[in-house]
Amino acid sequence: MHLLADAVGQSLSTRPDIIGAEISKALSELHDQIPPFPRDVAMKIIEEELGSPVESLFSYISGEPEAAASFGQVYRGHTLDGFNVAIKVQRPNLRHIVVRDIYILRLGLGILQKIAKRKGDLRLYADELGKGLVGELDYTLEASNSSKFMEAHSSFPFMFVPKIFQQLSRKRVLTMEWIVGESPTDLLSVSAGSSIDNGSTYSERQRLDAKRRLLDLVKKGVEACLVQLLETGLLHADPHPGNLRYTSSGQIGFLDFGLLCQMEKKHQFAMLASIVHIVNGDWASLVNSLTEMDVIRPGTNIRRVTMDLEYELGEVEFRDGIPDVKFSRVLGKIWSIAFKYHFRMPPYYSLVLRSLASFEGLAVAADKKFKTFEAAYPYVVRKLLTENSAATRKILHSVVFNKKKEFQWQRLALFLKVGAARYVKLKGLIASKADSSLGYLPLRDSGAVDVANLVLRLLPSKEGVVLRRLLMTADGASLVQAMVSKKAKFFRQQFCSVIADILYQWMFTAFGRGIATTRYSSDLRLASAHDNRDLEPSSRTPIYDYRTIFRDRRLKVIFSNVLNSARKNPILMLRFYWTSFVMFTTALALACHRALVSFSEAYLSPISFARKQYAIP
């Protein structure tokens, strides 16, 4: 049973926050210290599989294996044309060992089923595991899986998959590109300040640098999980730390493709919805998503499941709209309910949850404040805001509309703010290759993302089709009501600043043609320049031209529809006109202040003007 014990040890070794750092390290070392089989046996297997002497295939093969695992061991080598490669050789008589272990597991699960009086056949889990393990015995399948995974994820440069040398690979021998990188276990050990083999300790700088690389690996690992889950649907089935590397170029490298899992498209969208519903604390919608994923069996009392979820997860505290709780805890609650109601957990569901929990375990060991939900949510936001499909629109509608189709401004604002706050800009939305008109996402003095700027820049862009459809679908009166409400005060201030930017742009265009460079006009000159290649890279940041918003016919139609719907309520329209007047007046004053500073610095000596504070009712 050592094969199955090793697999369990791999999973537990990724959770030092649960089992403790010492036990985690011991399990990792146990996995790394599996005794190798003799080199002459390995060389004989290579010659038998490839049909030629080793010397005619490789110019060099290391004397000792670089790594040993339960399925095989890896040697470092050089091909005849000079490539550094990893040569994985399968253990002898492995098929017999696998079949024996699965048979013993099947007997054990059958006894457990009788003792626990379970309705489902637990032996099916052994059959499923056996199918996967037997599949991993054929390295030609792993080579094919690796190529398939590489092709599916080639458009994501932060993910790295080693090249397979097909001519040097067979059923029991696999030759692939050697990845130069650090394992998560090594990074965790350095960041924790463990002693070096010679007895000395790592310096503070080394520990901090290792911690930074580990957290970057985790963030990219979480995004890689979401890419596999929500974009390609092709999942790496064994993403434990031993199969991951952090390269010098900052990529996350994947190893061991013995087993992949392919998801259905409908399940991808249901999983996306699940993440959104967990973040929003919408447990009834979460149950619906689980039903769509075929997790909840037909005939299950949906109301009782929802009530149990609300009881188990309802006490979770939210901070800035994100569950202030470890992913592993939420996962544990869901698993307990799944066991109670006999949920069917598809392979992909278990894989994704296990992957995210493993990455969280690594991150928490380096940073106790790390939150998986916070790291994952920006990707979810980008997915919902840029993919124009019926499934994603349905999820987005559930976020910002209530049952009466009334627009909930605060929910959308929080959705955008939380999603963008993790990074300075939304990847794929800001400065994309296809359309760089969105510019850079500005930050306020507090460091909070300027949601108003994000919305206004997104609306006329190619990626803004989802948001435009959303506004066309919403009840116009509810949009206006949300805009003039007390809850929208902060965002009215942001819109006011945007209007001031527009007015100042107009003033500069009309009167500032001969003005020398000032603290404000330099940005506008840069924005209007046709060729700024001679400027310093840090000075070439484009300033967004808001006038494109007023020239966009689609936005004019949306604005007209909103006002026509709101005109049925005269009091609401009066509030809207008054709020708009105050915002415009305040923005005009702010724009005039900027213009005065620019003209003063251009024609007089520089004058210091204190930054004006303003309030929007």
Model pLDDT for residues 434-452, shown as the tens digit of each residue? 333 333 333 343 333 456 6
- Write the DSSP string, 145-188: HHHHHHHHTTT-TTEE-PPB-GGG--SSEEEEEPP-EE-HHHHH
Chain-wide mean pLDDT for the chain? 76
Residue at a domain's end among 178, 208, 236: 178
Known catalytic residue: 197?
no
Q: At what angle do helices 2-13 and 21-32 cross, to 10 degrees?
A: 140
In a domain, 6, yes or no: no
Residues in the chain, total: 617
Query: In the structure encoding, which two tokens stand for residue 237, read together?
Result: 């089935």
Compute how many other C-beta atoms are within 10 angstroms of the C-beta atom of residue 580: 15
Q: Which residue has the higher pLDDT, 45 or 189?
A: 45
Is there a domain that residue 440 lies in? no
What average pLDDT does the segment 99-125 reach?
A: 78
Q: Among residues 141, 162, 178, which one ends one of the domains? A: 178
Is residue 172 a part of any domain in this protein?
A: yes
Percent of the chain with pLDDT over 70: 72
What are the start-end ranges of the H helices in 20-173? 21-32, 39-50, 94-116, 123-136, 139-152
Note whether 185 and 210 are within 8 A (CB).
no
Whether 344 is covered by a domain: the verdict is no
Task: Say how many C-beta atoms besides its own lie within 10 A of residue 266's C-beta.
Answer: 12
Domain boundary among 178, 201, 229: 178
Residue identified by tokens 């307990």 is 336
Closest of 82, 85, 127 to residue 106, by C-alpha: 127
Reduced to 3 states, what is the DSSP secondary structure of residue 260? strand
Which range of residues forms the domain containing residue 172?
Answer: 34-178
Beta-bridged to residue 245, according to DSSP, are 253
In a domain, 279, yes or no: no
Candidate ranges 91-95, 216-220, 349-353; pick with highest mean pLDDT = 216-220
pLDDT at 407: 66
pLDDT of residue 265: 85
Please report whether residue 363 resides in a domain. Answer: no
Number of domains in the chain: 2
Residue 193, φ and ψ in degrees, nearest 5 = 80, 25
Report how far residue 420's alpha carbon sits from residue 477's, in angstroms, rounded to the nearest whole number.
Answer: 28
Q: Which pLDDT score is estimated for 529?
A: 41
User: What pTM value is reported for the model?
Assistant: 0.69
Q: Which of 17, 101, 186, 238 is catalytic?
A: 238
What pLDDT does 440 receive? 33
pLDDT single digits (tens) 281-325: 788 888 888 888 888 888 889 999 999 888 887 666 666 656 666
Is 59 in contact with 24 (CB distance < 8 Å)?
A: no
Other Cβ atoms closer than 10 A to 447: 8
Query: Of all helices (H) and strands (E), which one includes residue 483?
Result: helix 476-484
Helix 390-400 to helix 465-473 angle, to the nearest 10 degrees?
A: 60
Report which DSSP code applies to 612: P
High-pLDDT (> 90) share of the chain, %: 21
Q: Is residue 222 part of a domain?
A: no
Could you give the CA distance from residue 175 to residue 179 in angstroms, rounded to a whole number?
12
Residue 394 lies in a domain: no
